[in-house]
Amino acid sequence: MIRVVIADDQELVREGFRMIIDREDDLEVVGQAGDGQAAIELARSASPDVVLMDLRMPRMDGLEATRRILAAPGPPRILVLTTFDRNDYLYAAMKAGASGFLLKDVRRGQLTEAIRTVATGEALLAPAITRRLIEDFVRLPPPGGRVPDRFKDLTEREAGVLRLVAYGLSNTEIAAELFVAETTVKTHVGRILGKLALRDRVQAVVIAYETGLIRPGDRLRPLKFPAASSTDEPA
């Protein structure tokens, strides 16, 4: 059972989402919050798997609540509810570790599938939206800036996979680009996230831009790697 907390200052919105979620056999609403502070308290007490988080709320907004929830040990996944009219807020939520974004007028099936997607650890954000937000707000390092120390732990293959993730390619598309199995790509992505201490692909895209690995306006170019060895495939 996937446990869900709904955080929104509009009661009608909360109730509408609750009715949709509670009709699913594998989903359960375990709490509702009308502001960011209440959302933090519920994230601690109700042990949800996913929090649906509105960004505009009284007392404490959803952005600050997202930061505080994700800074705690073993946090739930955050799925942001938005109208996409505040790109600066969305970018900040991405950096804080939100796993995805949903329009408030989302259809029933899209809502429930989005919850299931982020509950499994996947990110939910269309590549076009990711690139638009990041290219609007990314802060590039100065020319000749030092590569972050943690990037040095990445192999050449992993750095290349990170670039492809930043371009918005799915695991299936990356596998086709590199002529390897999709399971191999999943292994590489998992290692990248672990080495860079990132929660998911959204944060990986942000760091790829902010460190200059990818720059606004870049176009996907073929990557050149040594031929895949037998150790490139997972056991």
- Please, which pLDDT band fits residue 230 given cuts at 50, 70 and 90? very low
Arithmetic mean of pLDDT, 18-40: 96
Residue pair 136/87 in contact (Cβ under 8 Å)? The answer is yes
* Domains defined along the chain, listed by start: 2-125 (3.40.50.2300), 149-232 (1.10.10.10)
Residue 182: per-residue pLDDT: 93
Beta strands 2-7; 50-54: pairing state: parallel
Q: Return the sign of the alpha-carbon dihedral for residues 200, 71, 66, 108.
A: positive
What does the pLDDT look like over 146-189, one tens digit per residue? Answer: 556 778 899 999 999 999 988 878 888 899 999 999 999 999 99
Nearest residue to 27 via CA among 102, 125, 123, 108: 108
Outline where 46-181 has alpha helix (H): 62-71, 87-96, 108-119, 127-137, 156-166, 171-178
pTM: 0.71
What does the pLDDT look like over 197-229, one tens digit per residue? Answer: 888 887 888 888 878 888 776 766 554 444 444
* Cα-Cα end-to-end distance for the chain: 31
* Tokens standing for residue 190: 């998992």
162 vs 133, residue with greater confidence? 162
What does the pLDDT look like over 54-71, one tens digit per residue? Answer: 988 988 999 999 999 999
Check whether 16 has a pLDDT greater than 70. Answer: yes
Cβ partners under 8 Å of residue 58, min gap 6:
9, 34, 35
Name residue 32's beta-bridge partners: 6
Arithmetic mean of pLDDT, 38-60: 95
Residue 144: per-residue pLDDT: 54
* Tokens standing for residue 178: 């590199």
